[in-house]
Amino acid sequence: MNLSTVILAAGKGKRMYSETPKVLHPLAGKTLLEHVVNSSYAVNPHHQPIVVYGHEGEKVKKTLAHLNVAWVEQSQQLGTGHALLQALTHIPDDHNVLVLYGDVPLISAETLKSFIDTTPKNSIGILTATFPDPSGLGRIIRNKEGQITQIIEDKDSTDAQRRIQEINSGIYILPANLLKKWLPQLQNQNAQKEYYLTDIIAMAVSENIAIHSSQPGAYEEVLGINDRVQLAKLERQYQLRQAEKLLRQGVTLHDPARFDLRGELSVGSDVIIDINVIIEGKVQIGNHCLIGPNCVLRNVIIGDHVEIKANSVIDGAEIAEGCSVGPFARLRPGTVLSPRSHIGNFVEIKNSEIGTGTKVNHLTYLGDSDVGKNVNVGAGTITCNYDGINKHRTTIGDDAFIGSNSQLVAPVTIGAGATIGAGSTITRDAPAHQLTLSRGQQRSIENWQRPKKKES
């Protein structure tokens, strides 16, 4: 089947109450429209999908400029039939047209592939679904033989028709040559005063064109988003799907309802993920890892036997096997942890390499640093890497000991085996295997009294 895909994405989304076009609202870290475009790529990889845009169209195009799509404008939003008509000049007569919607993000590639495969050539395919509550949706009207004869919108239907639970998803496969004949004939004599794409079904029936229907794997796949309540519900539907996939792969999720995957995740065996963990970007987790509660992992590579403790934010880091991170740790982009290094509570590391077996356990900032093996960094240590204009690196050799509350003013090198006395401000290189410290002379003042609070 020669197939062109058209994604209708011109709606304003008034009920979102937002300056952002509806199709740009995010679901699981991607815009609604991106989800649909990705499904279209999966079923029709050799065709550039056509996106019909309208409201705030330039914003939509600019935001999604990275997508490989053809953009077609619907300058006036006059209904779905009118929207599809704008795309027809880009479609060859011998093609079939797969019609999708930019606000129906959960439609799966599997459902679309089955739909395409089961729709005979030169016929019309309709993806229908049976809804527990079909209120507000167009109903499928069938004759006594079960053949589809009409689609009627909710606002135009009778009480008896509103009791029908089979709805029209709006997703079709339609011959382009018939669309080019039928769409210009559409009328807007309806409650919405719009040109309904659904009206072509009656035209097909009158010309004895075969109509075939198919249903998705789950009715949630064809749910559209019109307001933030529906967006929130579909977000949870999506997340529960992702959680179920991970559970079936052997991942332990302490509560699947409190897990968010907003990117791509690959996991090894015997991985445990606690509650309220957020995965963003591309994340890789090795074998026998434990991710504690309330953590954010973004573009991270994690080796085997790693523990990320509660309330840690890991962004753009590589963590080797046997490491321990957190609780309340922050690893920023460019951080590389070597095997068996320990990063403790309230530690922030940025653009630094931490050597094997090194411990940075408390209240520390290491930025733009190269830290050797088996180094101990005491509580309250910071690298002063920024002079207000430029960033500078700090190098700490193997087996060094950095005393608590030290400031290492970059660029500076701490030699292998060196010891930095607690409370020191180091502005020059510290020799290997020596004690280096800088402190003012200690003295005591007799008869000194603490200030007293003034009485009001």
Question: By three-state DSSP, how is residue 90 classified?
Answer: helix
Q: How far apart are CA 170 and CA 165, in angstroms?
A: 15
Q: How far apart are CA 374 and CA 232, in angstroms?
A: 48
Angle formed by the axes of helices 109-117 and 32-43, nearest 10°: 40
What is the end-to-end Cα distance of the chain in Å, rounded? 88
Q: How far apart are CA 417 and CA 440, in angstroms?
A: 24
**Do residues 99 and 174 lie in contact, with contact meaning Cβ atoms separated by under 8 Å?**
yes
Q: Is 74 exposed, middle or buried (0-12, 13-18, 19+ CB in 10 A)?
A: buried
Cα-Cα-Cα-Cα torsion 158, 162, 164, 166, nearest 10 degrees, comes to: 120
Return the CA Rg of the chain: 31
Tell me how far CA of residue 168 lies from CA of 155, 191, 202, 213, 334, in angstroms.
14, 18, 14, 10, 50
Q: How far apart are CA 272 and CA 282, in angstroms?
A: 18
Question: By three-state DSSP, how is residue 400 classified?
Answer: coil
Active-site residue flag, 362: yes
Q: Out of 254, 362, 392, 433, pick the active-site residue.
A: 362
Q: Which are the catalytic amino acids?
A: 362
